[in-house]
């Protein structure tokens, strides 16, 4: 008996939709990319209930003819490529012809569309892949998509959606990724009748400011530009000046007009910043690459943002050199590295252009299997505060309380380069001064916080902090906890919060920074009440602890060490970093071998 049958289109489309349209944000991405491919210069986005009930995208692009309007919803129907080799020279965001078919399989779709040269437009209504209505209509030039009741026919998916706040954040993330690389396009973003963004055509720099700057308008001033043009690639962008780095980072790579994730190139940027940042500083960057369309492969997976480059190693070196050079203006370290700044050839040279003056690490092959671990550890590095629970302490030697503070002779200690050296019978104990202080303060703060009601100090001058829309959403979640620990805080405007009082342990000059740090820690993990106190205690401790380069007085040293050795857990900071190491006889002997 034959048992294989072709699935009906509606079923096949639903299955494909699971791949392409995972949540409202993926739907938004597909629609806006279509608008950009259609040459739109103005795109309006209207969202209701975080995209569950309505997701509308209106553009002034080239529109569709009556036949195309119907064809557009068929699977593998696309105007963007006609043959396999086009895949290797893509100039559009879309090319699979899957998005609209997938969307109409899982939602009610209404569309009006009209090319500029047509007298009338076309209206089409589709539900679950079935055309419900198609008629001639009068409408403006361009295309207007209304996606209603997303996943109405797939309850499991509907249930699978996160809270409105989370979905809205996902929508904003997608929106940022698109608008930052299309500053020439006008965008509005309306959520539940409130205009979150109204972006005029502007420069890249202004666009970044419009998204992340808020009212103060000083955001991009904290960045330094970088720019390089070589045979292989053009790179330009903005790197945060190290001294302005906080824990919150905006990190964006774009290539040929699309957002991408690229852990390997991220590593180049991190390397350029190395030694310029303290452990709780993360750099922000916006880097735009331009390469010939055939030098990248975007054909990986519809929802993936990774992109493969030819010549990745060379580009890594070019990126590293450019970033270092740009940042070098701000720090002694790299100025010294850069006595001989690299000279880049430009394609305009009539003589055969020389390779950029960079050293290529020929051993590095991003596609080698064994590098996967490296990629993963890289990802981990990007997630500060991953664990709030103290991981297992160091083996053997450093287990438990080996030293009683009273047994130690403070006079025999000395500090150098941010470490405290402590000769003991078992060897030289080396203590990281900043981390030791973080440990000590963390426990103090935690005690204070759990000691209800939290004590707060009123501020003489209330502090107003401004957040980005996505931070505001996080803030809603964090508000009750903040109040529990002594913040007197109210929302006073759309993305604005006013703080009248703070926990007494906090210094009034550090409010904004501390709150923003907490928001970013918060984002990493959902918390129970107890955890949120830990987050806040740790953020405060990291804020207040002595810097590495401070030379401690005898009293300070004594106080920190005494408290440190009285803690049960003193080998690691609450976020799992080593506080001390022991150089014993054996390890010293090894070093001298």
Contact residues toward ligand ADP (CB under 6 A) are 30, 34-35, 38, 59, 61-64, 72, 77-80, 94-101, 143
Q: What are the helix (H) ranges across 274-360?
A: 312-328, 332-337
129 makes contact, choosing from ligand ADP, Mg ion, none, with CB < 5 to 8 Å by partner type, with: none
Partner from Mg ion, ligand ADP, none binding residue 473, C-beta < 5-8 Å depending on class: none
79 binds, among ligand ADP, Mg ion, none (CB under 5 to 8 A by kind): ligand ADP
Please report how close the Cβ of residue 109 comes to Mg ion at its closest, in angstroms. 14
Hey, which residues between 457 and 516 contact Mg ion (CB under 5 A)?
none
Query: What is the closest distance, in whole angstroms, from the C-beta atom of residue 550 to ligand ADP in the complex?
Result: 57
Residue number, 41 or 165, with CB nearest to ligand ADP: 41
Q: How far is the CB of 34 from Mg ion (least distance, A)?
A: 4
**Residue 88 CA: distances (Å) to CA of 82, 124, 482:** 12, 33, 52
Residue 27 or 467 with smaller CB distance to ligand ADP? 27
CB of 268 to ligand ADP, least distance (A): 31
- Please choose which of ligand ADP, Mg ion, none residue 95 contacts, taking the beta carbon within 5 to 8 angstroms, the exact cut-off set by kind: ligand ADP
Q: Nearest to ligand ADP by Cβ — which residue?
A: 94
Q: How many CA atoms lie within 13 A of 213 on its CB side?
A: 18
- Please state the closest distance from residue 94 (CB atom) to Mg ion, in A: 3
In the complex with ligand ADP, the residue whose CB is nearer, 143 or 542, is 143
Stretch that binds Mg ion, among 87-95, 185-193, 335-343, 423-431 (CB under 5 A): 87-95
Quote the Cα angle for 376-379-384, to 5°.
130
Cβ distance 496 to 469 under 8 Å? no
Give the residue ranges of DSSP H helices in 294-353: 312-328, 332-337
Handedness of CA 30, 57, 80, 8 (dihedral sign): positive
- Shorter beta-carbon distance to ligand ADP: residue 30 or 314: 30
Q: How far is the CB of 64 from ligand ADP (least distance, A)?
A: 5
How many Cβ atoms are within 10 Å of 200's Cβ, its own excluded?
A: 12
Give least dist CB 153 to ligand ADP, A.
19
253 binds, among ligand ADP, Mg ion, none (CB under 5 to 8 A by kind): none
User: What is the DSSP code (8-state) at residue 406?
Assistant: G
- Using alpha carbons, select from 588, 522, 483, 468 the residue that is nearest to residue 219: 468
Q: Which residue is nearest to Mg ion (CB)?
A: 94
The span from the CA of 213 to the CA of 195, in Å, is 17
What is the smallest separation between the CB atom of 449 and ligand ADP, expressed in angstroms?
Answer: 50
Cβ distance to ligand ADP smaller for residue 96 or 247: 96
For residues 193 and 388, give the distance between their C-alpha atoms in angstroms, rounded to a whole number: 39
Compute the least distance from the CB of residue 74 to Mg ion, in Å: 13
The CA angle 123-128-132, to the nearest 5 degrees, is 35
**CA pair distance 109, 56, nearest whole angstrom:** 10
How far is 382 from 249, CA to CA, in rounded Å? 10
Within positions 98 to 157, which residues make up the interface with Mg ion, using CB under 5 A? 99
**Residue number, 103 or 465, with CB nearest to ligand ADP:** 103
* Order of strands across the sheet that contains 488-493: 456-466, 496-503, 488-493
CA angle (554, 557, 560) in 5-degree steps: 150
The contact pattern for Mg ion, residues 32-51, with x = CB under 5 A and - = no contact, is: --x-----------------
> To the nearest 10°, the Cα dihedral for 334, 340, 345, 349?
150
- Residue closer to ligand ADP, measured from CB, 41 or 79: 79
Helix, strand, coil percent content, the chain, rounded in steps of 5: 40, 25, 40
DSSP code of residue 1: -
Q: Is 94 in the site for Mg ion (CB under 5 A)?
A: yes
Site for Mg ion in 398-437 (CB under 5 A): none
Comparison of 93 and 439: residue with beta carbon closer to Mg ion: 93
Residue for token pair 């993990």: 525
Give contact residues for Mg ion (rule: CB under 5 A).
34, 94, 99
């Amino acid at each position: 008996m034959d048992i294989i049958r072709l699935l009906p289109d509606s079923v096949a489309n639903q299955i494909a939709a699971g791949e392409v349209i995972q949540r409202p944000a993926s739907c938004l991405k597909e629609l806006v990319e279509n608008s950009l491919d259609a040459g739109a210069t103005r795109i309006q986005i209207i969202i209701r209930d975080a995209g569950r009930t309505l997701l509308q995208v209106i553009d002034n692009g080239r529109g569709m003819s009556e036949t195309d309007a119907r064809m557009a919803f068929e699977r593998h129907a696309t105007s963007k490529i006609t043959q396999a080799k086009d895949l290797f020279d893509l100039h559009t965001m879309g090319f699979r012809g899957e998005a609209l078919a997938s969307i109409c399989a899982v939602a009610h779709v209404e569309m009006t569309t009209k090319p500029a040269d047509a007298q009338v437009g076309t209206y089409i209504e589709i539900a679950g892949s079935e055309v419900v209505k198609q008629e001639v209509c009068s409408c403006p030039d361009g295309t207007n998509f209304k996606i209603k009741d997303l996943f109405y026919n797939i309850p499991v998916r509907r249930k699978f959606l996160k809270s409105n706040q989370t979905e809205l954040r996902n929508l904003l993330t997608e929106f940022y990724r698109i608008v930052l690389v299309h500053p020439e396009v006008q965008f509005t973003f309306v959520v539940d009748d409130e205009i979150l963004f109204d972006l005029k055509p502007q420069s890249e720099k202004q666009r970044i400011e419009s998204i992340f700057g808020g009212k103060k308008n000083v955001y991009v001033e904290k960045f330094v530009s970088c720019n390089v043009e070589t045979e292989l690639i053009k790179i330009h962008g903005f790197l945060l000046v190290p001294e302005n780095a906080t824990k919150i980072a905006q990190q964006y790579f774009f290539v040929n007009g699309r957002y991408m994730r690229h852990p390997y190139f991220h590593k180049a940027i991190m390397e350029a910043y190395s030694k310029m940042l303290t452990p709780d500083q993360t750099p922000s960057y916006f880097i735009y690459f331009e390469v010939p369309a055939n030098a990248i492969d975007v054909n990986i997976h519809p929802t993936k943002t990774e992109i493969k480059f030819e010549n990745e190693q060379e580009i890594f070196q070019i990126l590293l050199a450019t970033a270092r050079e740009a940042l070098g203006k701000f720090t002694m370290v790299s100025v010294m590295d850069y006595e001989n700044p690299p000279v880049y050839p430009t394609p305009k040279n009539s003589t055969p252009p020389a390779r950029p003056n960079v050293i290529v690490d020929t051993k590095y092959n991003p596609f080698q299997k064994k590098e996967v671990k490296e990629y993963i550890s890289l990802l981990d590095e990007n997630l500060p505060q991953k664990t709030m629970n103290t991981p297992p302490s160091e083996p053997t030697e450093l287990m438990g309380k080996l030293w009683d503070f009273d047994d130690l002779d403070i006079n025999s200690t000395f500090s150098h380069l941010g470490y405290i050296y402590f000769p003991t019978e078992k060897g030289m104990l080396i203590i990281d001064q900043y981390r030791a202080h973080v440990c000590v303060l963390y426990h103090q703060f935690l005690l204070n916080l759990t000691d209800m009601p939290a004590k707060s100090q009123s501020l003489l001058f209330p502090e107003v902090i401004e957040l980005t829309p996505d931070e505001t959403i996080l803030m809603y979640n964090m508000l009750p906890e903040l109040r529990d620990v002594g913040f007197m805080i109210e929302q006073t405007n759309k993305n604005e919060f006013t703080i009248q009082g703070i926990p007494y342990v906090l210094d009034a000059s550090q409010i904004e920074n501390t709150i923003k740090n907490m928001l970013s820690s918060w984002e990493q993990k959902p918390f129970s009440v107890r955890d949120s106190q830990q987050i806040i205690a740790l953020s405060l401790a990291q804020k207040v602890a002595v810097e590495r380069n401070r030379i401690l007085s005898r009293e300070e040293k004594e106080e920190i060490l005494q408290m440190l050795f009285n803690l049960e857990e003193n080998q690691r900071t609450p976020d799992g970093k080593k506080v001390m190491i022991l150089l014993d006889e054996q390890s010293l002997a090894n070093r001298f071998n």
